[in-house]
A = this chain, B = another copy of it.
Amino acid sequence: VKSAGVNPLLVSVASPAIVEARAWLAAYEGERGPVFDLSQAAPPYPPSQELLDRLACAAADPEFSRYGPVAGETCLREAYADHVSKLYGTDLLPSGISITAGCNQAFMIAMMCVAGPGDTVILPAPWYFNHKMTLDMLGIRTRPLQCLPENNFIPDLKELEVLIRGNVRAVVLTTPNNPTGANYPPAVIEAISKSCQKSGVWLILDETYRDFIDDSSVAPHNVFASERRHATIGIYSFSKSLAIPGFRLGAMTYPPALAENVIKVQDCMQICAVRAGQVAVAWALTNLYDWRREKQASFEEKRRQLCLEWAAAEGWTIDSIGAYFAYVRHPFPQMDAVAVAKRIASENGVLMIPGPFFGPHQERHLRLSFGGLSADELQNMTSRLAMQA
């Protein structure tokens, strides 16, 4: 009798980072104060009461207990097409929009559409760990594009043009970035998009955190307003911007010619996204503008305070900070960031995700998701980093 084995591709995939890191807190006994969990990019506030009312109302309606359209509710596809079109000054069609169970799923669907096992995808490093896990479990090869602190973690175009040669299927850009928070300048996004177009390579643009930067101060990139949108898949999450991760809703924008293939994957991966959530979000997209601006402003305020307080953190530097994340350098050249994170979690009760979880050459860095800290906690934050000798 032989034992049934696990898919070797999956065995070699990393475990979910948040789950693994949270286990370190188990050893913490509270001696330095309450736990500061800076691990997950979870919205620190509840959804608006109006949205909760609409979610409940839709959940009570037996119509939304039935199967829905695979690509999503028409009302939400239309509202989202309109929303993105206004944002980028373009005219995306609802036939090029799918509603997904969050942005991780949107990424997996996008990857299954553009690359098969053995194909290669360029992923800027440090990367979002679920992107790497997804590529690994699908048997898609990752070619890292190393982003350096001295370049503010912005991908280097020349470096990209070297890497893009030879059988690459897609380039993934996450902007504002996870883990670094870096917001890529429109000119960089556009140049990379042109480079992709020249090489016949897809651009996958993850803009999960775009609502957490002050867009009034930056001109938007023109990728969706140019012909290059026909080789671009945009992915996005309603979890952060509407504070409803528990409803699992995200979106994809793609060239309508790809719809047939997107829908095959969606049909097998979930048939449709949760319907009650979709109709409520369609309302929220057009009606909660002020609520979202207010939340974005609260993130900006926290960002400002964190930067001010950080001066007191001896030897620690903020190498990058943006939408949801700060990416900080620890002051222990002889220690790996994983060891630093474990000690600060178990001894100080502060949980950060160590750089090596985001790819190669990140031993000096840790990611902080700072949105969940109150003003008082932000004030105490730096004193909680000091390690016992």
Question: Which residues of chain A have a CB within 8 Å of any CB of chain B?
Answer: 1-11, 13-16, 19, 40, 42-43, 46-47, 52-53, 55-60, 62, 64-68, 70, 101-102, 104-105, 107-108, 112-119, 130, 133-134, 137, 139, 169-170, 196-202, 231, 239, 243-248, 258, 260-261, 263-265, 267-277
- Further 15 A-B residue pairs, CB within 8 A, beyond A4-B200, A4-B231: A4-B114, A6-B258, A7-B119, A10-B265, A15-B263, A16-B70, A19-B70, A67-B239, A104-B267, A105-B269, A117-B139, A133-B264, A247-B275, A247-B276, A248-B272
Given known pairs A2-B199, A3-B200, A19-B70, the reply for A246 and B270 (CB within 8 Å) is: no
Closest B-chain residue to A60, C-beta based? B56
User: Are A65 and B245 within 8 A (Cβ)?
Assistant: yes
Give the residues in chain B near A199, CB-CB below 8 Å: 2
A182 nearest CB across to chain B (Å): 23
- Determine which of B46, B197, B272 lies in contact with A246 in the assembled complex, contact meaning CB atoms within 8 Å: B272
Give the residues in chain B near A58, CB-CB below 8 Å: 59
Give the residues in chain B near A115, CB-CB below 8 Å: 7
User: Are B55 and A67 within 8 A (Cβ)?
Assistant: no
- Determine which of B62, B67, B102, B202 lies in contact with A46 in the assembled complex, contact meaning CB atoms within 8 Å: B62
14 A-B residue pairings within 8 Å (CB atoms): A4-B114, A9-B117, A19-B263, A47-B65, A52-B60, A58-B59, A65-B246, A66-B245, A102-B270, A116-B117, A117-B118, A130-B268, A139-B139, A276-B276
